[in-house]
Structure 1
Amino acid sequence: MANIALTPPKARRNPWGFLLTFKKVLRPLAALAVILVVWQLLCSGPNPNLPSPWTVLQETWDPLIINPFFDNGGTDKGLGLQIFASLTRVAVGFTLAAIVGIALGILIGTTRVMYDALDPIFQVLRTIPPLAWLPIALAALRESEPSAIFVIFITSIWPIIINTTVGVQQIPQDYRNVSRVLKLSKTDYFFNILFPASVPYIFTGLRIGIGLSWLAIVAAEMLVGGVGIGFFIWDAYNSSRMSEIILALIYVGIVGLLLDRFIAFLASLFVPAEQK
């Protein structure tokens, strides 16, 4: 008897799908327009405390908006270069936190003695505000650049450790039993069961950590100085350039969103669809 391959029927295309996509774009744009109109009305008086959207646009158009990568030497740089300097610090600190945090999380999650010994300590340390670590870092490292990177590291490592630990501990007992029945080596168990099962939790910790990293570097740069978006905001405040501060905050929010979406994209490549 010949084998007959059954092919599933083609999914019906929704002719109104483009309208749903259009609505998803239109609604936030409409909300943004309302916010800008209200902001413009509230800041249109004779002596407003904050500039209106139109004033921000006029005062920052040249050169901050049209030329974000200008470099006049020292700290007089465009917002593009300021953000790039901050992202460089975040990349170093967050990468170190991811490596150390995932390794520690797996170790703690698989070893009951390590969990009982270290979890209470980590729960205390993670509640310390990021900037409280800065004086310790400056006293120990004596330089602002490694101190800022340390603040990023120490801020973002806790959610990575905690979520990785939870992921390892949540591995179903059936998986462990199967590994014993098949007599898998520790290496095979790690790469075929432990790590794949923990990946969704790991990426949850990474997404939280990258957001905290971006928050921490902006605050740390206000204190350590140098080139960076945090110092740019603080310097603009000291010079009463409120329009530049508002523009910088918009850029900070956009970059933070892009960082979160980047980690989410990486998660989509590694996390199986049934585990999302």
Structure 2
Amino acid sequence: MSAVSIRKEDIKTIMKNDQTITTPSSQPPQARPAAVARPGVFAQKSRTFFQWLLPPFFGLGLLIVVWALISYQSPNLPGPVSTWHAATELFSDPFYVNDINDQGIGWNILASLERVALGFGLAALIGIPLGFIIGRFQFMSRMAAPVIGILRPVSPLAWLPIGLLVFKAANPAAIWVIFISAIWPMIINTAVGVSKVPQDYMNVAKVLNLSEWKIVTKILFPFVLPYMMTGVRLSIGVAWLVIVAAEMLTGGVGIGFWVWDEWNNLNVEHIIIAIFVVGIVGLLLEVALTSLAKRFSYE
């Protein structure tokens, strides 16, 4: 009997020892595994910032290196250093005025932006309503299709002589070229957006007996807005692209005329500066319209 009782006590003792060994709470503090430290908020923000900054930084650095190598092989092409010094001197007084054909680069940029704003504004004022009409009515869509198909592929500068013939002046002709070049993306994208409105929405409008104005403002406009803003973004890019070429041919004050005038003076540094200025202004316009599209998105 005593042997049996001893065995039972031994079994209980062994079980208790196993529980004390396997229970995590019974382990001394120094034996527990250390908790995995999570990265702080500052570290995460720093990593995100550098992931956003480094790729464009390396891209621009690569562009400058390639530019420097090409300028080293071609002595007539100014390098980054000489162009930087010329830009520093140029932008030290960007709004000087000596005469009508000798003004600072700041006035030339503002003159080009004014022409773009006028031509682009007229294109939006006419093109967006036309897009709604073409997309809303099948008859208008079929009627406009051959006209758009013929006129849209025409080069923007091919319209310049027509503008000079009609308006008898260079400035309205340049605005006309911007208008006729920027109107097509707005018409096409708006019409496509209207045509993609679900038929269920239009059936509800019929059931509720909504007026055409209510259909446009309450149903079509919210749905079409992303398509319309895409057309606006494409149009502003085309408008800023065209104005440089148009001003080279028409003359006067403007960034395009300024580039051509600097070429006649064989000032290549200023031409390279103008290329960067045109690119930066176009990028800023694109970013502004993208932010505007996100702000007014109905999604």
> Within 5 A, what are the aligned runs for 1:1-276?
15-44=43-72, 48-62=75-89, 64-272=90-298, 274=299
C-alpha distance in 1 between matches for 2:86 and 2:105:
14
Please give the secondary structure, in 2, of the residue aligned with 1:171.
coil
1:174, 1:17 → 2: CA distance?
Answer: 45
C-alpha displacement of 1:40 = 1.7
Please say which structure displays the higher CA radius of gyration: 2
Distance 2:252 2:214 in 1: 47
Q: Distance in 2 between matches of 1:34 and 1:162?
A: 38
Amino acid at match of 1:152: I
Rounded Cα–Cα distance in structure 1 between residues aligned with 2:63 and 2:216: 50
Following TM superposition, where does structure 1 have runs of at least 4 consecutive aligned residues deviating by more than 4 angstroms?
A: 12-15
Number of aligned residue pairs: give it. Answer: 260
Report how far residue 14 of structure 1 moved: 8.3
CA distance in 2, matches of 1:75, 1:22: 45
- Cα distance in 2 for residues equivalent to 1:77 and 1:44: 32
Could you tell me which runs of 5 or more consecutive residues in structure 1 were left unpaired when the two chains were aligned.
Answer: 1-11
SS at match of 2:175: helix
After TM superposition, give the deviation of residue 118 of structure 1 in Å: 1.0
- Unaligned residue ranges in structure 2 (runs of 5+): 1-39
Deviation at 1:15? Answer: 4.7
1:120-160 Cα offsets, whole Å, 9 max, x none, are 11111010000000001101110001100000000000010
Structure-2 change in CA distance of 1:187 and 1:235 (3 Å):
same
Structure 2 SS opposite 1:72: strand
CA shift for structure 1 position 42: 2.7
Query: What percentage of residue pairs aligned between the two structures are identical?
Result: 47
Deviation at 1:102, TM superposition (A): 0.4
Structure 2 Cα separation of the partners of residues 60 and 187 of structure 1: 53
Specify the SS of the correspondent of 1:227.
Answer: coil
Could you state the TM-score of these two structures normalised by the residue count of structure 2?
0.83
Q: CA deviation at 1:13?
A: 6.1
Q: CA RMSD in A?
A: 1.6
Paired with 1:166 and 1:14, the residues of 2 have a C-alpha distance of: 45
TM-score, reference length from structure 1: 0.90
